[in-house]
Structure 1
Amino acid sequence: MIESHRRMKASQDIFPVYVSLRYLPLLQSDGAEYIEHFCILLSTAVQGELFTREIGLDFPRASDQLSIQLGLTKLSQLLQRRIVLLFDDAAHIGREKPLEVFFDLFRTLSSNITSCKASIYPGVTKFGVRFDVFNDATVIDISRSDVAAVSTFFPEVIRARYPKLATKEIFSDRVSPNQFANLLGRAVVGNMRGFILACNRFDNVEKIGIPDINKCFLNMATDYYWPLMEEVAPKLGVYEPLVEPARELFEALILNVKDRSNRGVTPDRVLIHRQIVSNFAKLFEILEYLGFLARREASRAMKSGGRGPVFALNLCNLIEGSASSSRLTSEMIDGWLDGLADPTEFHLTGSALQSVRVPMLPPEHGLSILDRPVTGLAKSPAYPYGLTQDMIRRLRDAGINTVGELASAQDDTLDAIDYFGPAKIQRIRAVVQQAIWM
C-alpha cells in the first residue's frame, strides 16, 4: 500500500491518500461511533496529503459519512483528478465486527471519482451483508512467495538489501547465494518479516556454510516463532483461548511429518482433508497469520478419497521439532527447494489431529493487551525493540501504567516527560503498534 501510494503520486491524473487504520478508537467502537472516528481519521489524512504536497486547498474535518462524501467530491472537482483512498491494516485478527461497518463505508465512498483500496487478511475478514467482495470490489490475491514457483524473488531482495550476502565469496562450496536466499525464503514460508530477521543473523558472519544456516533455523524456532505466539495471544480478543490449541495442532503436524522422510528429506508440506480444515478454521488462520504455515493449493485430491488444501510448513520449526532432520543437509536443501516431494496426508478418519480440542469462545471483551502493564513491553524475545527499564519507569511515574493508557496518550503528554523527545516517542509508538497490531 505504501509503495502504491508512492508511485501514484507521480501521476498527474490521480490524487492518492494513504490511510493507516491502526487507530485504537477504531478497535474499541462500532456503528455510528466507528463511522465518526473513521471519517475524522480519513479527513485528517486528506489534510495531511494536501499539506505535504503543498497544494493550497482546504479540506473540512468531517465526522459523518455525508460530509466526507461531499468533501471528496468537491476536492476531486477542484483538483480535476480521481481520488484513490488506500486503506492499510483494515483487518485485525482479534476484532472483526467493526469491519462490517468499514466495508459499508468502503462501498458507499466508492464512485466514479473516488476509488477505494483496502488490504485485508483472507479468512480473517467479515464483510457484512451489504458488501459483496466480488461485486463491490476487484480482488487482487497477493500470496506469500513460493520459491519453487518463483526462484528469483528472494535473491533480488538479498541483492537490494544485503549485497554482502549476495556474493559467492562469503559462502562455502556447498551453498550458492541463490540457494541461500531461496532457502531462507522457503524456511519462513515467504513471510517477509521473518525473512529479514533471518538475514539479520548473518550480518557479521565472515563465512556461511550449511551448519550456520542450520543454527539460524533452530534459533529462529526458539527465539522468534514460539515467542511470536506469546506476543500475539493478548491481541486476539475473543480468539485468545485458541492460541494453545493452535500450538497443539501445529506440533501434531510436525510430529506426524517427521518420521516420513524419503531419502533423508522430511516432507515439508501437508495435505489435510477439507473437513478437518473447516473444523479447525480459526486455528489454521492464526497459524498462517503468524507464519507457521502457508496455504499453497486450495484443493487437491487425496489418495484415500476426498480433497483438501496443501499447506507448506516453516522449516525452522520443522527442523527443531524433528529428531530425524535436526541437522540440515544438501539433500534436504535440494528437496525442499525443488518442492517435488509428496505432501504428508491427514485423512478424515484416524487423523492425528483428532486429539486437538477447540474451546468455547467467551463473549466479546476487547483486546486483553490493552489491560496489560507497560512492563510487558520491555525488551524481550517477543519485543526485541521494546522499551528500556528507564523508559518504563518514567512512564509509570507519569501515571501511564497500562498498554491501553500508553496507546491513548497524546504526543504532548509523552513529550512533557523528562528525557522524552520525538525519537523516543516514535519508538514508543512503534512498540505499542507492534503490541496491538501486527
Structure 2
Amino acid sequence: MSEFYLRTESIKQSDIMSLSVVNSSDRGILDALKSNEPCLLEGSRGTGKSFLMRVAELELEAGNKACVTVFVPFNKSSLITTDDSLQFYHWMMAKTLKYLLNKLRKLGLVVSGLTANLLSNDNNDTEERVELSLKNIVRLFEDSYKNNKTVDISSLPDIEEVKEAIQTICEENDLDRIVFFFDEAAHVFRPEQQRQFFSLFKDLRSPYITCNAAIYPGVTHFGDSFELIHDCIYKKLERSISDPDYLDYFKDIVIKQSDDSLKDEIEAQRDLFNTLALSSGGNPRMLLRTLQDITKINTKGVNGIIKSFYRTQIWSEHTDLGEKYKGHREVIDWGRDFLENSVIPRVEEYNKTRIEKGTDESTIYFWIHKDAPESVKEALRLLTYTGIIRKIDSSYRATRSELGSRYEIKYGCMLSLESTPHSDSKDFYKNLAIKKFPEFGKNHPAYAGSEKLLKKDEQQYEESLRSLLQKPIDVLVALTDWQKERLKSVGINTIEQLHNNSEDSLIEKIYGVGPARARSMKNTATAELLEYISG
C-alpha cells in the first residue's frame, strides 16, 4: 500500500498545493482565512485544519504581494513550565515576533533601526540582534520544563509597541498587512494557556495585522474577554457523510497521495472504498490510516480493518489520554463507559426496533438535555476532541419540546459492531435519519457516577508531563524500527533524551547518519513527540 502523509507538518511547503483538494465548503473557509477579519477554524484532530491554513497562506502569498504571511506553530506549548503567571503570553509574543522577523529576512524586506528598537527593550537596534534575543527567550521557555526556572522577559516589548512596529514595517515596505496563522493554538489540557492565547489574539488586532488560528471543538477555553460572535469569524471544519460530494471528495484526497497500484484498486473496488470513507466520519487522517494498514482492498480486508480500528484502536487512543493526563483520567474513562455501555446500546436497540417494525430508518445520533450535569458535558467534549463523536447542533427540541444537543457517533464505530460491516453498510447508510435518535434527559440514570468527576489542577498536568517524558521512544509510532534501534544503540532510550539531542549530536553519535537523515529523524521525532505529549 502507499505511504500517506498523516500530518501537515510532514509535507513540504512546495507540495501542499499539489496535494490539496478543495470543495465549496473548504473554499468558504479559505476565503475567511484570507479576509481582513481574524478567523478561528475549529475541527477535531486529523480533519485538516493545519493543511487548510497552509493552503490559505500560499494563496495569499501568490495573489497579494502587499501581504506577508507568517505561520507560527505553537506545538511546543506543552513544555512551558515557569513561575511566570503570564508565561504562555510572553512565550507566544517572543515566538510570534521571531517568526515574523525570520519571514521578513527571507523576503528581503527592510526593518529599520527604529523599528528594531521598538521590538526590543534591551536597546538592540538591528534585526539580527533582536531576532537572536527573541530566539534565546523562546528557547529558555521551551526548556523550562526541566527546572521550572524564571525566564528574563525584560527585553520583550509591550503589545502597543509591537503593533506600532508592525505598522512601521508595513509603511516602510509598502505592505497592506501582516497575516499570522497560529497552529496548535494552545495545549488542550491547559485552560490557562488557552485563555492567554485569546488575550494575545485579541490584543494584536490592528488595521495592519490579521490573526487566524486553528482550535479544537469542545476543549477550547476563550476566557472572559474574548467573544466568538464579536471578535472573529468562526468557522467549523466538518465534513458530513450526508454531503452529496462526500465520497468523491474523499476519493480525490486519497488519489492525490496514491501510487498507480492503489489508484487501480480503488477504481476496481469503489464500493469497498466508499465503506472505508464513510466509516471515517469525515476525518481524512482516519481514512488514510485505515487504508495504510489494510493489506488488500477486498471484502475480508475492509471488514477486518473496520472492526480492528473502530472497535479497538480508536477507543484505545481515547483511553490513552487518561494515561497521559492523570488529572483527566476519571472523566475520560467515564465518558468511554457512558458511550459504550449506555449510548451505543440504546442506539443499537433503537435501530433493531425500527427494523422489526419494518421501518426504513437507522440512526447514529443521540440527544443530551441542555441541563445534563457539567461533568457529562465535559466527558462528551473530550470524545468530540478525539473524533469519536461529533456535536451536530445545540438547542434542538426533542420530546416534550425540551432543549438539548444532538451528537453523531462515528459511522465506523457503529458499523464495526456488525458481523459483516461492508455488506450491512449500504442499507444502513441509505436509511440514516438525523431526526431519529434516543434521548438522555437531564436526570438520566446513565449519568450515575458523573457527579464525582472533578477538574484537576496545573500541578497534576506538570506531573503528567514529567511522566510522559520518561516513556521509552518505542511509543513514538512515526519512528521506524531501524531509527529506534540506532537511537537505543547510543543510549537514547526515552522521549526526553531524544528531545534533548540536536541534529548535530545525532550525526556525531550515530554511525551512518548524515545531515539529511539526522534532520529527517529529528523532525519526525519532534513532530511525533509533541503530538504524543499534546494528546
What's the TM-score bracket when you normalise by the shorter of the two chains?
0.7 to 0.9
Cα displacement (A) at 1:414 = 4.2
Q: For the residues of structure 2 that align with 1:27 and 1:396, how far apart are their CA atoms?
A: 30
CA contact (8 A) 1:146 1:186 kept: no
Question: Any conservation in 2 of the 1:369–1:404 contact (CA below 8 Å)?
Answer: no
2:442 paired with 1:348: yes
Shift in alpha-carbon separation, 1:415–1:77, aligned structure 2, 3 A: farther
Shift of 1:404: 4.4
Choose from 398, 403, 417 the match for 1:302: 398
User: Tell me, what secondary structure is at the counterpart of 1:19?
Assistant: strand
In structure 1, what is the equivalent of residue 339 of structure 2? 250
Residues 319-338 of structure 1 deviation map (CA, whole Å, 9 limit, x = unaligned): 44x4xx33326554333255
- The answer (yes or no) to whether the contact 1:35–1:64 under 8 Å persists in 2 is no
Taking the TM superposition and a 5 Å limit, the aligned residue runs for 1:23-422 are: 23-24=76-77, 27-29=80-82, 31-55=85-109, 57=111, 58=127, 60-61=130-131, 62=134, 63-66=156-159, 67-81=161-175, 82-135=177-230, 137-148=231-242, 150-162=243-255, 164=262, 170-171=268-269, 176=271, 180-181=273-274, 183-202=275-294, 205=296, 208-209=298-299, 211-222=300-311, 224-236=313-325, 238-251=327-340, 252-261=342-351, 262-263=354-355, 267-276=363-372, 278-320=374-416, 322=417, 325-328=418-421, 330=423, 332-337=425-430, 339-340=432-433, 342-356=436-450, 358-365=452-459, 366-367=461-462, 368-372=464-468, 375-378=471-474, 383-386=476-479, 388=481, 391=484, 394=487, 402-404=494-496, 406-407=498-499, 409-419=501-511, 421-422=518-519
Distance in 1 (alpha carbons) for counterparts of 2:473 and 2:451: 31
Residue 19 of structure 1 contacts residue 87 of structure 1 at CA under 8 Å; is this kept in 2? yes
Contact 2:186 2:194 in 1 (8 A): yes
- Aligned-pair CA distance for 1:344: 2.0
Give the structure-2-normalised TM-score.
Answer: 0.70
| Structure of greater relative contact order (alpha carbons < 8 Å, 6+ residues apart) | 2
Structure 1 residue 304, shift from structure 2 partner: 4.5
1:413-433 per-position Cα deviation (integer Å, ceiling 9, x unaligned): 444432452121122112212
Q: How far apart in 2 are the matches of 1:422 and 1:412?
A: 9
Paired with 1:25 and 1:288, the residues of 2 have a C-alpha distance of 21
The offset of 1:70, in angstroms, is 3.8
State the alpha-carbon separation in 1 of the partners of residues 162 and 504 from structure 2. 28
Identical pairs, percent: 17
Distance 1:293 1:27, change over 3 A: farther
What do residues 360-381 of structure 1 show as CA deviations (whole Å, max 9, x unaligned)? 33332225144235544415xx
Aligned counterparts of 1:276 and 1:166: Cα–Cα separation in 2: 50
Q: TM-score, normalised by structure 1?
A: 0.83
Let me know the Cα RMSD of the aligned residues: 3.2
Conserved 8 A contact 1:271-1:346 = yes
Deviations 1:202-251 (A, max 9, x none): 5x52x534x54332210112553023124433554632332211211221
2: distance between equivalents of 1:7 and 1:433?
28
Shift in alpha-carbon separation, 1:111–1:80, aligned structure 2, 3 A: same
Partner of 1:20: 73
Amino acid at match of 1:271: W
User: Which structure has greater helix proportion?
Assistant: 2
> C-alpha separation between the residues in 2 aligned to 1:138 and 1:288?
22
CA contact (8 A) 2:392 2:408 kept: yes
Cα distance in 1 for residues equivalent to 2:395 and 2:443: 18
Q: Give the whole-Å Cα distance in 2 for the aligned partners of 1:404 and 1:284.
A: 32
Q: Give the total of aligned pairs.
A: 420
User: Structure 2: how far apart are the matches of 1:114 and 1:285?
Assistant: 32
Q: Is the contact between residue 73 and residue 183 of structure 2 (CA under 8 Å) also seen in structure 1?
A: yes
The residue identity in structure 1 corresponding to 2:288 is: I
Q: For structure 2, which runs of at least 5 residues remain unmatched after alignment?
A: 1-52, 112-126, 135-155
Deviation at 1:129, TM superposition (A): 2.6
Q: Distance in 2 between matches of 1:391 and 1:86?
A: 33
Give unpaired runs (5+ residues) of structure 1.
Answer: none
Distance 1:34 1:108 in 2: 14
What secondary structure sits across from 2:391 in the alignment? strand
Shift, 1:170, TM fit: 1.7
Specify the SS of the correspondent of 1:254: helix
Partner Cα separation in structure 1 for residue 345 and residue 202 of structure 2: 46
> Which letter maps to 1:298?
S
Deviation digits for residues 356-409 of structure 1 (CA, Å, limit 9, x no counterpart): 554333332225144235544415xxx5324648637746955x6653454455
1:240–1:76 Cα change, 3 Å: farther
Of residues 384-393 and 29-38 in structure 1, the stretch that sits farther from structure 2 once superposed is 384-393
